[in-house]
Structure 1
Amino acid sequence: MNDIALLSGVLSKTGDLIEGAAGVEGAEAGWRGSATPCEEYDVGALVDHLVGWLQLFEARCDGRAYEADPARHRSGPDPAGEFRAASAGLVAAWEKYGFDREIALTGESGLPAAMVFDMALMEFTVHGWDLAMATGRPVPFTEREAAEVLVRAEATLPPQYRGEGMAFGPIVPVAEDAPAVDRLAGFLGRDPAWRA
Structure 2
Amino acid sequence: MGNMELLTGVLSRTGDVIEGVGGDQFGLPTPCDDYDVEALINHIVGWVHVFEAGCHNRTYEGDASAYRCGADPASEFREAAAGLVAGWEQYGFDREVSVTGGRLPAEQVFNMTVMEYLTHGWDLATATGQTVPYTEQEATEALARAEATLPPQYRGENMPFGAIVPVAEHASAVDRMVAFMGRAPESALRSS
TM-score between the two structures when normalised by the length of structure 1: 0.93
Q: Measure, in 2, the Cα distance between the counterparts of 1:80 and 1:87.
A: 10
CA contact (8 A) 1:13 1:140 kept: yes
Quick one: which amino acid aligns to residue 93 of structure 2? F
CA contact (8 A) 2:45 2:69 kept: yes
Q: Pick from 20, 23, 32 the counterpart of residue 26 of structure 2.
A: 32
Quick one: which amino acid aligns to residue 83 of structure 1? F
Q: Which residue of 1 aligns with 2:117?
A: 124
Q: Which residue of 1 aligns with 2:166?
A: 173
Within 5 Å, which residues of 2 pair with 1:122-161?
A: 122-161=115-154
Within 5 Å, which residues of 2 pair with 1:55-74?
A: 55-74=49-68
Quick one: which amino acid aligns to residue 144 of structure 2? V
Q: Secondary structure at the match of 1:103?
A: strand
CA contact (8 A) 1:8 1:91 kept: yes
Question: Is the counterpart of residue 184 in structure 1 residue 177 in structure 2?
Answer: yes
Q: Secondary structure at the match of 2:20?
A: helix
Q: Percent identity?
A: 61
CA contact (8 A) 1:176 1:183 kept: no
Quick one: which amino acid aligns to residue 109 of structure 2? V
Quick one: which amino acid aligns to residue 62 of structure 1? H
Figure out how many residues of one structure are paired with residues of the other and give that number: 187
Q: Which residue of 2 aligns with 1:11?
A: 11
Within 5 Å, which residues of 2 pair with 1:44-83?
A: 44-83=38-77
Q: Secondary structure at the match of 1:33?
A: coil
Q: Measure, in 1, the Cα distance between the counterparts of 2:42 and 2:12.
A: 17
Taking only aligned residues, the RMSD between alpha carbons, in angstroms, comes to 1.0
Q: Which residue of 2 aligns with 1:94?
A: 88
TM-score between the two structures when normalised by the length of structure 2: 0.95
Q: Measure, in 2, the Cα distance between the counterparts of 1:132 and 1:145.
A: 16
Q: Secondary structure at the match of 1:190?
A: coil
CA contact (8 A) 1:162 1:168 kept: yes
Gaps of 5+ in 1: none
Q: Displacement, 1:175?
A: 2.0
Q: Measure, in 2, the Cα distance between the counterparts of 1:72 and 1:85.
A: 19
Q: Which residue of 2 aligns with 1:115?
A: 108
Q: Measure, in 2, the Cα distance between the counterparts of 1:49 and 1:35.
A: 14
Moved over 3 A (4+): none
Q: Measure, in 2, the Cα distance between the counterparts of 1:164 and 1:8.
A: 33
Q: Which residue of 1 aligns with 2:78?
A: 84
Once the two structures are superposed, residues 24-77 of structure 1 have per-residue CA deviations (whole angstroms, 9 ceiling, x without a partner) of: x22xx2x11101000100000000000000000001111122111101100000
Quick one: which amino acid aligns to residue 72 of structure 2? D
Q: Measure, in 2, the Cα distance between the counterparts of 1:77 and 1:131.
A: 18
Q: Displacement, 1:165?
A: 1.7
Q: Secondary structure at the match of 1:137?
A: coil
